[in-house]
């Protein structure tokens, strides 16, 4: 688990020092001024929140549109960063994938439009979508989570 947390810290080192961020394993007491409850999973009992503060930060050269955080037993277990693509970009830009890959010790696999890797009990995925998870906006999604099988315990 130490390796996983180190990997995640490396990924998010691309943030500026004052960036709004959440890392897996962080202790958290959801504050209604910063986080809005979206729902609670009946399967895993993970509470999902949307960050409602102003986001003025960038990730890998792109503005962050939304931040979603999953919390179980007072700890962050899922992070979803909805990144606003630059004008004219199609799919997940190679520069974005390369920047994430540089922070990982394992290669990202590509399958069906999704770049990802499973390391121990953690999953990291990058995709370009427009759906409920992105609030119906075209976004590059950087998803990081403890595996659902672990969360069910």
Dist CA 15 CA 11 (whole Å): 9
pLDDT of residue 19: 45
Per-residue model confidence (pLDDT) at position 152:
74
Q: Where are the domains of the chain?
A: 2-151
* Burial class of residue 16 in the structure, from the number of CB atoms within 10 Å of its CB (0-12 exposed, 13-18 middle, 19+ buried): exposed
Question: Judging by DSSP bridges, how do beta strands 109-111 and 114-119 pair with one another?
Answer: antiparallel
CA atoms of 153 and 150, how far apart (whole Å): 6
pTM, whole model, 2 decimals? 0.84
Round to whole Å and give the CA distance between 1 and 29.
22
- The segments of the chain whose pLDDT lies below 70 read 1-19, 149, 153
């Amino acid at each position: 688990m130490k390796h996983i947390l180190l990997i995640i810290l490396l990924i998010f080192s691309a943030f500026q020092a004052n960036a709004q961020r959440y890392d897996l394993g962080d202790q958290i007491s959801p504050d209604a001024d910063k986080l809005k409850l979206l729902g609670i999973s009946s399967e895993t009992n993970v509470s999902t929140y949307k960050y409602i503060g102003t986001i003025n930060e960038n990730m890998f050269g792109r503005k962050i549109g939304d931040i979603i955080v999953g919390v179980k037993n007072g700890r962050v277990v899922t992070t979803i960063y909805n990144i606003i693509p630059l004008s004219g970009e199609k799919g997940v830009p190679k520069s974005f994938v390369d920047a994430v890959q540089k922070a990982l010790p394992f290669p990202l696999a590509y399958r069906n439009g999704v770049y990802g890797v499973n390391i121990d009990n953690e999953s990291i995925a990058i995709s370009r979508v427009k759906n409920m998870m992105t609030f119906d906006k075209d976004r590059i999604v950087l998803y990081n989570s403890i595996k659902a099988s672990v969360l069910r315990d």
